[in-house]
Structure 1
Amino acid sequence: MLKFYGYKQCGTCRKAEQFLQQANIAYEFIDITLNPPGAEELAAIAARAGVSLNKLFNTSGVQYRELKIKERLPALSGPEILVLLAGNGRLIKRPLVTDGKRATVGFNAEQFAAVWG
């Protein structure tokens, strides 16, 4: 079953959930703000989705701006990025969806259809 790391108040997450529901794809919803994935799982999701760790950041989020992540990012190592993300689910781009073999970061209808459809 898919793990869907999202946030119920997030419009993008609602669109992604609607896509999965319309496609009759079962998933487990995990509130990313209360239970963010750990560093190992984040690294695995990034690798499965084929994205760099930098792409796991929610760059439009308030906390991203408040913590000045954009300025700090060039100096951060991969493990430091993972610890930062694992410790604060509001910094993570959402939704994260994975089945343990494949993963997607964020929501794009065409990408969802190709990976999960």
Structure 2
Amino acid sequence: MTVQFYWYPKCGTCRKAKKWLDEHQVDYEAIHIVDNPPSNAELKNIIDKSGLPYKKFFNTSGKKYRELGLKDKLTDATEDEMLEYLASDGMLLKRPLTVGEDKVTVGFQEETFEQNWN
């Protein structure tokens, strides 16, 4: 099984996750999250598969998130509106985003990767 690994090469957390995948010989397709962000439909599928709330997919510490004032906007936003924001700019997505056939991880925590991708 090949997992989709959405990452930003300049992100230290993404590089740690990639190193973990390499060391554990996980078969993955690396996708640059800014150059090739997931589409609205792909994101909806990923979020639904994860079972996580939409807000978990936002990079809340990112510059773009702050510039757009999303902290306040998301309190009343619908899921469709959140999808629009997320699909509009790969920098708004929490990364890395790792997607398998029936699993999704957001961010990188070694224990979570161990449980899901090993």
* Same fold? TM cut 0.5: yes
Identity of aligned residues (%): 44
Q: How far 1:44 sits from its partner (Å)?
A: 2.1
> Is structure 2 residue 5 aligned with structure 1 residue 4?
yes
- Between the aligned partners of 1:86 and 1:57, the Cα distance in structure 2 is 11
- Aligned pairs for 1:1-117 (under 5 A) are 1-117=2-118
- Consecutive unaligned residues in structure 1, runs of 5 or more: none
**C-alpha deviation, 1:107, in angstroms:** 0.6
Structure 2: give runs of 5+ residues left out of the alignment.
none
Instruction: Extract structure 1 runs of 4+ deviating beyond 6 A.
Output: none
Three-state SS of the structure 2 residue aligned to 1:29 is: strand
Aligned length: 117
The Cα of 1:15 is off from its aligned counterpart by 0.7
Q: Structure 1 length normalisation: TM-score?
A: 0.95
Q: Is the 8 A contact 1:49 1:103 kept in 2?
A: yes
RMSD: 1.0
